[in-house]
Structures are given as structure tokens and as C-alpha cells.
Structure 1
Amino acid sequence: MSAETPTALVADSHELFRAGVVALLTRECGFGRVIEAGSLDEALMRLDEHAGIRFACFDLAMPGIGTPLNLRSVREVFPRTRIAVIGGSGRGGGREEIFLALRAGLHGYVPKALGVDEIAAAFRLILAGGIFVPPSLAELPLPSDWAPSYEPSRPVGTEVRLTPRQQDVLRLIRSGKSNKEIARTLGLTENTVKVHANALYRALGVRDRTGAAQRAGQS
């Protein structure tokens, strides 16, 4: 298949829903190839393997994500990919989750409860360069600080909740391993490790691996 074929990625742990999104992206959004992933690590590996993925959507309920803020590092490592999150049981989604997605620099929050035509329209808007939020929130004012922020997100002294994969990466950082060595140990790509490392730096409120190791040693 040609390298120019428009390519998308669907990351969702529910196979049936994933298949529906694949069909929608193919039929309604003109993608010639849609790659599937059932976990965050698999999605990151697919992004690393297939250069030029134009659009990726992530299910927030998928193990390993936890919060939309953890996808901020995906935006940094894969800046050319338009990224949306799919979540929420209601048509409006969760207000806090939506604002966190916007703060993370993601390109949209699409509730699963929207109709097929509405989801397709949301994806097309994102692909055209827009930012999608559910209709119920579209007319409400956003917080003044909603824009992407790349500063550490937690001050020292606050409770830190790392995902299991972030805990794995932190343990190996503390042992002195490089990203390449961590990738080899965990069976991941270096970019996947970089995404997890950047996310845990923010969770810990530090800027680099040295700070992460020191902060972890204080807990």
C-alpha cells in the first residue's frame, strides 16, 4: 500500500466499538488504512512504526491512560498527528475530563454516546484543524488557563498517582537505565518509553529523569 495512503489509528480496548470506529473513519473520513490497538503501549508502538499517521483517537477508559493529561506527551512525541479522546457515558462527557483534554493540547473530546453522524462530523472538524467539544459545552466559556501548558503539573507534597507502566519506567530510571535500556527491558520502543517518562515527570512535578529519581526517593 502506498506510503501516501491516509492513515488513522484507533486505540480502544473494546473490539466491537473499535471496529465501528474503523468503519466510520474509512467510510466517512476517507482513510485508506486504519490501524487498531487495544492498549496504550500498543498504540504508541503503532504510532512509532507507521510514519505519517494523520489522526489517532484514544479511549480514555483504556488501561494505562488514566487521565487526558497523560496523552500530552503523545502530542509532543508525535506532533503531526491530530489526536482525539473518546470517553464519557453521556452525550456531554465529563466536564473536568474535557477541560483536561484541552489543557493537554488534544484536538477534541468525543463522547461515545453521540450518534454516528455526530462522531463523524467531530472527526472531520478535528481533521480540518478545529477543536471539538461536545455540543452541550460548546457555548460555555472555557477556563482562562485551558490552553496547553508544558510545565510540570504537580507541586511537591501533593499525592501522585502513576499508571503501572509509569511505575515500571520510574523504577528503571531510578536504577540508572537509559531510555534505550528501559525500552529493551520492557519490550517497548524508545518513543513509547519517552511518552511514559514525560508523563511521569509531569505527575511528579519535575523536569527530568534526575528530578524523577530524587522525587521518588523522597516518597
Structure 2
Amino acid sequence: MNILVADDHPLYREALASILDGLGPNIRIFQAETFDEVIDCVSTINVDLDLILLDLYMGSGDWHSVVEKLHVCRPTTPVIVISGSDSRVDAERAMKAGCYGYIPKSMKKDEMLSAIRLILTGRVCIQPRNDGRPTNQSDPPAIKPDSEDARIALLTSRQRDVLAEIGTGKSNKLIARSLGMTEGTVKLHVAAILKCLGTENRTQAALVAHQLNAAPHGSESK
């Protein structure tokens, strides 16, 4: 998994890189300490980025315009804000700008890793409460998962896309190529799909995918 960490404090970048090793094997970290370096990095490195962790305040520069450029340069790469600010206003501005989540630096290591995993699978966006503690701002809809339709409804649109591809028998590599994602991101989505559907393997998930493809809200075949 390839991750870009952008923060103007070298010690924090190194500490965060160490924490991110907990996401799994083969984690490759790219670093930037200014907004200009962030744009240079996403424009020039010849690898797919699975995640961008961005501090909002890194000296001069408008972070909002940087986020917009990131969406243009890397439209499929989620951007998560890692900020020393516990301001709810900052969190809401980041979410409105299209960031996948907002994680205060005050969070503990294990909490931060859990939050990043959840955000990557589309299940949650983290924002601080008024008292600075994190809260979920886009939890799954309140549907009891007592039927396949209800469980499918809990999936994000991107997860339904991946599920539809699973239904065609494609490998993670082929799914990544079809949807413009990396294999690491596909693996995260597959794990979340199996858990949400209550299925034990891809074969069982593929059976559910046939229902998804036949339903009006399902993804079209690619």
C-alpha cells in the first residue's frame, strides 16, 4: 500500500509513518512537508497512491485549493486530514471540500489506525465533537441486516462496484484495473464487503452480487 504523509513537522511525519505500518504488510510511505511538495509528489511519482494523509496548516498556502488539485491529480485516492486542530469548523470545511475523514492528532495510536481502516472502507468519517472527541458523521443507515437487500443497502457505492466485479469472478488485480484502484484498496473493500454481508468467502459474496446486478440500484457491468 502506498501512502503519502504531508505534515510540516519531520518528527510527526516519522511517528505517523511508524504508526501506519500497523495497517498491514508492504506499506510504502512518501513524505511531503509543504503544500507545494504535496502537489509535486502526486504529479510526479509513478505509483498508485492508496491514501493521502494531509495536515491542513503547513505554513503558507491555501489547503482548500490543494485538496481540489488532489482530486484532479488523483481522483480515486482518498484524502484524510490529520490535524492538530480539534475545531469542528475545520472538520466541517474539510469534509465539504471532499476529504474522506478528519482525524485529530490527539487520537491514540490504536484509535487512529481503526479510524483510518474504517474511512478506507467507506464506513465512517471522523470529525471532532465540540469537546474534541471523535464522532461518526456518516455512519451506515439504520437498517437491520436481516436480509440480503438490507445488507447490500449498507454498502457504499464503491463497495457495490467492487461486489459487482466479484460477481463476474475477477481477481483483485483485475478488479483494481477495471475500477482504477490499487490492489491494496480492493483488498480493503473486499474485507469490508465480506464482513458487512456476513459471508465467509468470495464465492458466497458472488452469489449476493448476482442479486445486486439484477437490482435497480446495482452497478452496471463493466
Asked if structure 2 preserves the Cα contact closer than 8 Å seen for 1:69 and 1:103, the reply is no
Structure 2 Cα separation of the partners of residues 139 and 131 of structure 1? 6
Question: How much does 1:103 deviate?
Answer: 0.6
Q: For 1:54, which of 33, 50, 57 is the aligned residue?
A: 50
In the alignment of these two chains, the number of paired residues is 133
What residue in structure 2 maps to residue 10 of structure 1?
5
> Normalising to structure 2: TM-score of the pair?
0.54
The match for 2:119 is 126
Post-superposition offset of 1:53: 0.7
Q: Which moved more, 1:62-71 or 1:101-110?
A: 62-71
Which residue, out of 100, 104, 109, partners 2:97? 104
Alpha-carbon offset, residue 139 of structure 1? 5.8
Identity %: 29
Counterpart pick for 1:71 among 61, 64, 67: 67
- Distance in 2, matches of 1:28 and 1:59, equals 20
Q: Residues 11, 139 of structure 1: CA spacing in aligned structure 2 closer, same or farther, 3 A cutoff?
A: closer
The Cα of 1:134 is off from its aligned counterpart by 3.1
- Tell me, what secondary structure is at the counterpart of 1:110? strand
- Pair 1:23 & 2:18 matched: yes
User: Larger relative CO (CA 8 A, sep 6+): 1 or 2?
Assistant: 1
Which residue of structure 2 lines up, in the alignment, with residue 212 of structure 1?
Answer: none
Report the CA distance between 1:13 and its aligned residue.
Answer: 0.5
C-alpha deviations, 1:109-130, integer Å up to 9, x for none? Answer: 1101111111111111122123
Contact residue 69 and residue 100 of structure 1 kept, 8 A: no
Distance 1:74-1:99 versus aligned 2 partners, 3 A rule: same
1:138 aligns with 2:135: yes
Matched residues in 2 for 1:128 and 1:140: separation?
15
Cα pair 1:126 1:132 within 8 Å, conserved? yes
Q: 2:74 corresponds to which letter in structure 1?
A: F
> Shift of residue 86 of structure 1?
1.3
| Structure 1 residue ranges without an equivalent (≥5) | 1-5, 142-219
Cα deviation for residue 73 of structure 1 reads: 2.9
Q: Does the CA-based 8 Å contact 1:84-1:110 persist in structure 2?
A: yes
Residues 1:8 and 1:140: Cα distance change in structure 2 (over 3 Å): closer
Structure 2: 5+ residue runs without aligned partners? 139-222
Letter of the 1:47 counterpart: V
Structure-2 change in CA distance of 1:135 and 1:85 (3 Å): closer
